[in-house]
Chains A and B, each alone.
Chain A
Amino acid sequence: MASSQFTVASPPTDAISALKFSPDPESTRIVVSSWDKNVYLYDLRDENGAVGEGKLLQKFEHRAPVLDVCFGATEEEIYTAGLDWDVRKIEIASSTQTVLSTHEAGVRSVVYSKEHNLVISASWDSTLHVHQTNDPATPPAVIPLPSKPFSMSLTATKLVVAMASRALHIYDLKALALLSAQSEGTGSNKIEFEPWQRRESSLKFMTRSVACMPDDAGYASSSIEGRVAVEWFDPSADSQARKYAFKCHRQTADDVDVVYPVNALAFHPVHGTFASGGGDGVVALWDGIAKRRIRQYQKYPSSVAAVGFSGNGKYLAIAISPGFEDGKDDVVEGAVKVFVRELGETEAKGKGAK
């Protein structure tokens, strides 16, 4: 029952920006993007199929630090976004990189919607680029945003974009897909697209991360001020009354509450619980429905940059790297690591409301 934990061999040499598990339930592949300009592809299984060390399958070099990565339709393709302003598609088998589009500033995040065959990238130029994957020739639709995007997450039907100034947009993916498909003829593909919902973050500070519930009911967002909010999509007053926020990732030292940013959120694909990773190096599992903390793992040696559950929910990967939030500027050799926890049957399962 006790969860075992191991570190992945040959981790990135610089801070990790993102970590994603393959959504395929049987897969144990992880992609990690790093500030060392590389995207790393790991498989937790060795040649014999046993889960152990985890080995580096491939490394894809970019021209600039990579800020986000995600798997595409299959685990043979990944999409990356980085400081070179490009959104790229990488075919793993052939290692070919294709630039899908170029933003006018660094690209913060990229997501893939398999339901709608869309790749959506969010850049600090305050735009979203919506790419049709089944029609790669078409230039992407450009959707202006009111502020710089900081984090993005999607469900089967919705896209949540968290931005600066505590703005938050929820887009309807179906409408987005239709619109971007229609826009293909027009010359400038910049389209004003009204989000399904505009919201102000329930958190008073900068949104750090946002993650959608696997059941498409809502999302959780976290801020730099040690807080996580859980909200529901349903605009009815009833559902909105259910939203709440709580403090976490704080430490009291000498009567001063040291508040760490909550860098990463990830929902468990099966249980619907979620993990939060903070600048304090702590990873906690929460039951967002019962409003309970399920467990908290022992502090990791440095700030948690990203967390992710495997497709079947059996593994929790935790990327740690010292960052600004840690108060340290330089990356110490060996401080960047990817931990993988093998979760027990009920380890991430909520205890249920009492």
Chain B
Amino acid sequence: MGKKRRGPSLEELLARPWCYYCERDFDDLKILISHQKAKHFKCERCGRRLNTAGGLSVHMSQVHKEQLSTVDNALPNRSSLDVEIFGMEGVPEDIIQTHNQRVLTQFQQAEAERQAETGNPPAGAAAGGQPAKKPKLESVSDLKKRLAEHKAKKAEARTGGSSGEATPVGAGQTPTPSSGYTQPPPPVAAAAAANPQFSYPQPYGTASPYPQTASPVYPNFSPGGQQQQFSAPAQYTPAGYSPQPFAGGTATPGQPYGATPPAFPAQPPTNTPPQSTGTFPPRSGSLPTPPNLPQRPAVAAPPVNAYQMQQMHMGHAAPPGTVNGGEKTETTTPIATPVDDLISGAAKQADAAAGDKPKGEEKKKDKSKQARLVYSDNETSPEEKMARLARYAYEPDRRGETALEELPAAAVVGTIRETDTVVDPAA
């Protein structure tokens, strides 16, 4: 049998980047970022798209002299400016977990629905129970009656011994789930009903509803599953969500997971699912660092630590001269020394934050960068220098006092050019 994939696996679902502000998920991080720029970080005055809410806030205050109070188009509790979000970066851990929880719940519901509909084992489940295969062939609920009738007819018609027995067994098996499903219809219906309810906007009014709405789902769902031999835990353990990967996951990303257990509030100990939900932290840990993450606006500290910096300050004896050999070492303001270069990383940020129109030259900013003057002679203007060039030379003594303009000048310049041409080939 060819393995037809019905939909994305849970892993894929969890790996999808999603928007902190509106909980929409996206195929690609790039799309997420452009979504955020278009929906949440766009300036309503001039349409400029900024990278972060902070950036927009600065833009609004500097350009439009307005104060940004909330993020546009955000869910009610997500419109704060305090959280700096860029793509998937900056999303608080608990929010990530709530989201994962929600994705899981939705996935399970969808799975339950599908199972209820098709009787198929969940995707990725290592077909544990042989009996599970059989209901796969038959469709459930509606069909089973007809099927039973049909088979009964067949049995009547043929009155075959073996086949007659076989069919009852087959029919007898369907009833078993059906008896199980007599209760489940609520869950199925609930799941169907719950699905819209789980559409993004509403439940996220608060973060707390999740665990609450999520937990009831498990008891509803798993009884049916357990009867059917593929229980919820069973279905996730083979998929690699066993405790071991979890442990491994905690080991790798390190820090945050000390905090994760409390981040699962109201997790009902009633079912085994806690185990499977416990597997989420590693996933969430791996989320914030997708490989194709575009460059974030620099937030990092300068790459030099304090010790190094100090060392280099001590180590560097004298700045290796002013770049252009000017006499301006005293007025070092614009011609920065290499040492200053070290702090440039930090200072640049300060610069960026401080805005682009400096007033007055005495600003410390100037020290932040190594500057190179293209024209560094502070005493002689470029014109004077040019005037000294041979080709522009002019001998006032030789010129005629009155009106003879061209001849003397041409003659003078001509001779000088000649000396030039003599020198050039020699060199």
The chain B residue with its CB closest to the CB of A88 is: B405
- State which of B333, B341, B359, B387 has its C-beta within 8 Å of the C-beta of A245: B359
B372 and A257: CB pair below 8 A? yes
Find out whether the CB atom of B360 lies under 8 angstroms from the CB atom of A245. Answer: yes
Binds A, one of B9-17, B290-298, B376-384: B376-384
Stretch at the interface among B170-178, B217-225, B392-400: B392-400
Any A CB within 8 A of the CB of B24: no
Q: Which residues of A contact B334 (CB under 8 A)?
A: 204-205, 225, 259
- Whether A256 touches B64, Cβ cut-off 8 Å, given contacts A35-B386, A246-B358, is no
A residues less than 8 Å from B373 (CB atoms): 205, 224-225, 259, 261
Least CB distance, B224 to chain A, in whole angstroms: 64
Q: Does A37 contact B (CB under 8 A)?
A: yes
Which residue of the partner chain, among A65, A85, A255, A261, contacts B375 with CB atoms under 8 Å?
A261
A61 — which chain B residues lie within 8 A by C-beta?
405-406
Q: Which of B65, B359, B375 gathers the greatest number of chain A CB atoms within 10 Å?
A: B375
Q: Is A84 an interface residue (CB 8 A)?
A: yes
Q: Knowing A15-B386, A164-B379 touch, does A63 contact B369 (C-beta < 8 A)? A: no
Contact A279 B374 (CB under 8 A): yes
Give the shortest distance, in Å, between B300 (CB) and chain A (any CB): 15
Tell yes or no: B344 within 8 A of A by CB: yes
> Given A63-B399, A106-B387, A255-B369: A37 and B358 within 8 A (CB)?
no
| Known A97-B405, A150-B381, A257-B369: A244·B344 in contact at CB below 8 Å | no
Expressed in whole angstroms, the Cα–Cα distance for A67 and B385 within the complex equals 13
Using Cβ atoms and an 8 Å threshold, which residues of chain A touch B384? Answer: 106, 124, 148
CB of A341 closer than 8 Å to a CB of B: no
> How far is it, in angstroms, between the C-alpha of A206 and the C-alpha of B357 when the chains are bound?
21
A108 at the interface (CB under 8 A from B): yes
Taking a contact as CB atoms under 8 Å apart, the answer to whether A206 and B381 are in contact is yes
**Partner pick for A256 among B371, B381, B399, CB 8 A cutoff:** B371
Measured CB to CB, the closest approach of chain B to A114, in angstroms, equals: 26
* Contact partners of B385 in chain A: CB under 8 A: 324
A255 near B381 (CB under 8 angstroms)?
no
Chain B residue contacts of A256, Cβ below 8 A:
369-372
Whether B68 is near chain A, meaning CB under 8 Å from some CB there, is no
Instruction: Say yes or no: A255-B341 contact (C-beta < 8 A), given A204-B333, A245-B358.
Output: yes
Return A241 CB to nearest CB of chain B, in Å. 11
Mask of A158-198 contacts with B, CB within 8 angstroms, 1/0: 00000010000000000000000000000000000000000
Decide yes or no whether B311 CB sits under 8 A from chain A.
Answer: no
In the complex, what residues of B have CB within 8 A of residue A206's CB? Answer: 377-379, 381
In the complex, the chain A residue whose C-beta lies closest to that of B341 is A255
Closest residue to A227 on the B side, CB-wise?
B361
Cα A245 to Cα B361 with chains together (Å): 7
A 240-254 binary contact with B (CB < 8 Å = 1; else 0): 000011110010100
| Alpha-carbon separation in the docked complex, A245 to B357 (Å) | 8
Q: Is the interface of A mostly helix, strand, loop or mixed?
A: loop
Residues from chain B with a CB closer than 8 A to the CB of A203 are 361
Decide if A325 is an interface residue (CB 8 Å cutoff). yes
Q: Is the CB of A279 within 8 A of B387?
A: no
| B369 & A261 in contact (Cβ 8 Å cutoff) | no
B345: nearest chain-A partner, CB-CB: A255
Select A63's contact among B63, B357, B386, B409, beta carbons within 8 Å.
Answer: B409
Contact of A257 among B360, B370, B383, B409 (CB under 8 A): B370
- Say if the beta carbon of B408 comes within 8 Å of chain A: yes
A182 shortest CB reach to chain B, Å:
29
Is A62 located at the chain interface by the 8 A CB criterion?
yes
Rounded to whole Å, the gap between the CB of B382 and the closest CB of chain A is 4
In the assembled complex, the Cα of A65 lies from the Cα of B358 at a distance in Å of 38
- CA A252 to CA B344, docked complex, whole Å: 12
CB of B162 closer than 8 Å to a CB of A: no
Does the CB pair A64–B394 fall under 8 Å?
A: yes
- Of A63, A224, A225, A246, the residue contacting B394 (CB under 8 A) is A63
B379 touches A67 (CB 8 A): no
Question: Closest residue to A164 on the B side, CB-wise?
Answer: B379
B371 to chain A minimum Cβ distance, whole angstroms, is 4
Q: Is A324 a contact partner of B386 (Cβ separation < 8 A)?
A: yes
> How many Å lie between the Cα of A15 and that of B409 in the bound state?
18
Asked if B394 contacts A83 (CB within 8 A), the reply is yes
B residues adjacent to A (C-beta < 8 A): 63-65, 331, 333-334, 341, 344, 357-361, 369-379, 381-387, 392, 394, 396, 399, 403, 405-406, 408-409
In the assembled complex, 14 residue pairs joining A and B whose CB atoms fall closer than 8 Å, in A order, are A61-B405, A64-B394, A83-B387, A97-B403, A106-B394, A148-B381, A204-B334, A206-B381, A245-B360, A255-B369, A256-B369, A258-B371, A259-B373, A261-B373
- Nearest 3 CB-CB pairs, A to B? A63-B409, A64-B394, A324-B382
